[in-house]
Amino acid sequence: MDYDFDFLKAFDGSMQPSQVDMAQLVNVIEANVSQYRYFYKTSLKNLPEIIIEVTNTNIPHLLGLSKKHHIGLPDYNAGAIFEGLKDDWTLDNLQKGDKFWFTENQDKIIGVLLLYQIFHVQECKVYSTKHIINQPLGSTFKRDNIYFIIFKLANNKSYSIELSPINNTENSYFPRSLKINDTKLLNCEEITMLLVSQQRITTKKNKIKKIKWKLDTE
């Protein structure tokens, strides 16, 4: 099965994480989700318009591919990880590099395949943390600088993208983390958010050397 635009639009989460082809995943995400700037109108009076910027370098962290979550990667630069996943950083290699990573992060693989629907607000709920961030229940959001959460239910699990502000901008945010079955968002304020347009991010690409999977993972 090929992962393409139609696949992302209709994906219902009913796939085993162990069956996901990581090269196909990152390629379909790059073509249809990342390297885009999304423009929204919201129901918030003090913030009627927001922008979400999604880049290739956001994707590895959402998959739990960082020093904190995977101890056996050939490189920890987010750009290098993204390019490596296109090449020989297969799901099998990732599991051999850190046997605990897959157990702890397998649902995030499915969550990343839902990103198209999440950023297009397809059957999603959106929450603002503004009214709770300075209360005890909002301490985690304040610590992690989380301002908005987009929530998607699929395959009887919830997938929530937490958004943090981009430094030196007034209303731009980036996807900081992907959570599974996170109940904290139920204490937040549900808002309306409508996608108005999207724009390809056309920054000059820095050439990233592909790093082969050379670790002894046998």
pLDDT value at residue 13: 96
Q: Exposure of 68 by Cβ count < 10 A (0-12 exposed, 13-18 middle, 19+ buried)?
A: exposed
Amino acid at 90: T
In three-state secondary structure terms, 85 is helix
| Burial (CB count within 10 angstroms: exposed 0-12, middle 13-18, buried 19+), residue 34 | buried
Per-residue confidence (pLDDT) for residue 67, from 0 to 100: 83
**Residue 14 and residue 191: Cα distance in Å, rounded?**
28
Q: How far is CA 206 from CA 21, 78, 163, 189, 209, in A?
A: 26, 13, 25, 40, 10
pLDDT, residue 158, reads 96
- What pTM was computed for the model? 0.92
Place of tokens 């050939």: 74
Burial class (CB in 10 A: 0-12, 13-18, 19+), 214: exposed
Residue 204's pLDDT is 65
The CA-based angle 19-121-38, given to 5 degrees, is: 100
Tens-binned pLDDT, residue by residue, of the chain (218 aa): 899 999 999 999 999 999 999 999 999 999 999 999 999 999 999 999 999 999 999 999 999 998 888 988 988 999 999 999 999 899 999 999 998 999 999 999 999 999 999 999 999 999 998 777 767 767 888 877 899 999 999 999 999 999 999 999 999 999 999 999 998 877 889 999 999 999 999 876 666 767 887 755 44
